[in-house]
A and B are shown apart, each in its own frame.
Chain A
Amino acid sequence: DQQVKQNSPSLSVQEGRISILNCDYTNSMFDYFLWYKKYPAEGPTFLISISSIKDKNEDGRFTVFLNKSAKHLSLHIVPSQPGDSAVYFCAASGDSGNTPLVFGKGTRLSVIA
């Protein structure tokens, strides 16, 4: 049973446009959500997080939106750059982040120059 789902295995976006990566979760106990970025042959790198008490968190070009009623979150990258090409993992935990992270399968983003 997959508790964190990233239904799009891949996404291609033109440089300068918006990239929107989606994530759905099923466990209503999750209250802390993170996005990680992974380049080939490297470990995942933390990108941005959001607590369930908020519905939006912004950091530069990256914004994460959380819709608790729909159990859905999304990562927006504006504007997209070729260096953003990577695999993006959505992760979730419960108890204010005190339970282990559960990861989705990832979405491969390709930003085309």
Chain B
Amino acid sequence: EAGVAQSPRYKIIEKRQSVAFWCNPISGHATLYWYQQILGQGPKLLIQFQNNGVVDDSQLPKDRFSAERLKGVDSTLKIQPAKLEDSAVYLCASSLLWGSEAFFGQGTRLTVV
């Protein structure tokens, strides 16, 4: 079974630039999550989708972050404009059912300079 795919693996941008991350969840997984992991911290949930609907985006900085999940499968997370404090690993995860164990991708390491 293929795992959660994310791209790119690494990205370096200047502050105020825009960046987008892509995620392809495990086939058949209805729930998709985006997490932000700052160095030395645990993953923090940014947004949760159930199929293509948003379940929880309470911790998403909506003035600069946006996410969508087209047709309930792939998802993109965008930051526009980026700030230095956005430097982190962005993890995508999916689960078969809402509340079951989440499977994580390898993450995208973003460095904002």
Contact = CB atoms under 8 A, between A and B. Distances in A.
Contact of B99 (A89, A91, A93, A102): A93
A90 B101 CA distance: 13
A98 B95 CA distance: 12
B42 A34 contact: no
Given A41-B106, A42-B106, A43-B91, A100 B33 contact: yes
Contacts of B88: none
B45 interface: yes
Tell me the dominant secondary structure on chain A's binding face. Answer: loop
B45 A89 contact: no
A14 B101 CA distance: 30
Number of chain A interface residues as a range: 20 to 34
A103 B106 contact: no
A84 B102 CA distance: 20
13 contacts: A43-B93, A43-B104, A46-B101, A46-B103, A49-B101, A89-B42, A91-B42, A95-B99, A100-B45, A101-B43, A101-B45, A102-B45, A103-B43
